Structure 1
């Protein structure tokens, strides 16, 4: 005689997306049978987001833009100064080892991303301080290897030893967006709209003319922001000790732009995002080189998530290919 118990889980993942999972358990004298039926959206296994940890809100903004270009799903978290990251990764390594010993080979990928202004020597020095005391674990070398392999940074020109190196590079790349660059980027679209206006019926002509007006307004805003940036000399940005420090670049730029009319497409309250969006659109070679190491690491980490979490499992045992 078997006792049977059924449980049905209903899952609604959004408009038009429904799924159900039913679990039926039959218990005999010396046996137990569990039948799991999944329908609709629950047929596929959940692939969790890769955790990406950064230093501050500026880095979070940049990573959000990278995530929109990268293949995968990512959760971005700020964790303060970069030298917190090796200790954090060491704790994750210890947990990962214990998880594996429990029989579960799956784990969440965690990437720590620095601003890109940390030299290799300094990075290694901080990593080697992650564990102190006389009872150093036997697998410390392996732990250090994982830590160093999970730390990534944006690609920056590090030739100048100044504070606020990311902001300094952002300004350089923004300054390269000249009036000629902006015109060249939109020239084909402008010519197309002007051609449409010449041939358009009077009823639709105002709509096309409006498109052209708005495009030229956006171009004017880009020029205004880049011109204001070119008017800020990096060596005039200094910290309290009088050393060149470009951390305040965005604050100074915002103050200069506040003196004029309100910006529409590139609002001042998200000026860092506005500047980075301009660089991405009008200086794409610089942008792609800047984000390449981090974007590549994020995509590889998510691909590993797909590999780990796609197969079906029961009691930690892989039982099928999954979908």
Structure 2
């Protein structure tokens, strides 16, 4: 019988001996005898080393390294909790990210990472790479990372289909690529825009934000906020001033809409207006809720689904991951 190469000090402490950790060890190893407050044990011949246990306040992790090269890990308590890696979202730019951040604020936990595609035409290629890698992981115990791509909603269906057809050229690519290509449309989502003005050459998302903001009037604001003091009344006045200012902005390229909006100077303090995109989007969400829900409803549902899917994959995986960013 080989002797264990480590010992746990202070095991003469009654609380330690009665802990779940010691009960688990007693079931797994033979107790030899306590010597000067140190518990020593003998173990199975197949184990040549047991690393010093990591003891958390609420749990224990023990790693056994076996002679045949295998590693056996035992976890209890808080160490049995699994790290859930974030899912990935491919978006065009920071404005799209800002919209998703506001959606995500409705939930307690929605771990996510962003990949910026710059333009929607790059999203399909990026997504295809993820799907191919995920296919390779199916035969392993490593969980697939969940992913969605979300475009701004200003691309016609015909253009998307044309782009997907051009993604893979020729007739002799492998079966895996063909399957992944068919799956692309399931993972490629869009925000839902309402206004498609032929006079607007660029910046349709910003143009829609402008139109939805300008649909808000004093009656709507008062029905929701019901100001009860001078400060709150002045906030309402400033918001109405902002809406009037927005109506004066006319552009061919509405990508610069928020830049123009930042030139507004309210008569009174307007909290968080320095975060202009965040302020406007939250105003739409609060005072023009029907339009907001139509804009983001499908994306919100997809985020909930992909978050649950991602969590289940990591919980059910036969392995543990660690967050090395902390």
**SS of aligned partner of 2:160:** helix
1:38 matches 2:44? no
TM-score (normalizing by structure 1) = 0.76
**Match in the other structure for 2:97:** 60
Relative contact order higher in (CA < 8 Å, ≥ 6 apart): 1
List aligned pairs for 1:265-284, cutoff 5 A: 265-268=271-274, 270-284=275-289
Following superposition, the deviation at residue 24 of structure 1 comes to 3.3
Following superposition, the deviation at residue 88 of structure 1 comes to 0.4
Cα distance between partner residues in 1 of 2:254 and 2:292: 19
Give the count of matched residue pairs: 273
Q: Unaligned stretches of 5+ in structure 1?
A: 12-17, 191-211, 239-244, 317-323
Supply the RMSD in Å over aligned alpha carbons. 2.6
Per-residue deviation, residues 97-145 of structure 1 (Å, max 9, x unmatched):
22223x2362111111100111111111112222235642223332122
Cα distance between partner residues in 2 of 1:92 and 1:26: 34
**Match in the other structure for 1:249:** 257
Q: Go from structure 1 to structure 2 and tell me whether the alpha carbon gap of 1:315 and 1:262 turns closer, same or farther (over 3 Å shift).
A: closer
List aligned pairs for 1:95-174, cutoff 5 A: 95-101=133-139, 103-104=140-141, 106-133=143-170, 135-161=172-198, 162=200, 163-174=202-213
Q: Go from structure 1 to structure 2 and tell me whether the alpha carbon gap of 1:215 and 1:8 turns closer, same or farther (over 3 Å shift).
A: farther
Per-residue deviation, residues 245-283 of structure 1 (Å, max 9, x unmatched):
32222122222x04x557441323x21111111111111
**Higher helix proportion:** 1
Following superposition, the deviation at residue 20 of structure 1 comes to 5.0
1:75 matches 2:83? no
Cα distance between partner residues in 2 of 1:217 and 1:9: 57
Following superposition, the deviation at residue 23 of structure 1 comes to 2.1
Following superposition, the deviation at residue 94 of structure 1 comes to 1.5
Q: Go from structure 1 to structure 2 and tell me whether the alpha carbon gap of 1:9 and 1:167 turns closer, same or farther (over 3 Å shift).
A: same
Determine if contact 1:64/1:76 at 8 Å carries over to the other structure: no
Q: Go from structure 1 to structure 2 and tell me whether the alpha carbon gap of 1:237 and 1:104 turns closer, same or farther (over 3 Å shift).
A: same
Q: Unaligned stretches of 5+ in structure 2?
A: 2-44, 322-326
Cα distance between partner residues in 2 of 1:315 and 1:72: 20
1:184 matches 2:223? yes
Following superposition, the deviation at residue 186 of structure 1 comes to 2.0
User: Which of the pair has more CA radius of gyration?
Assistant: 2
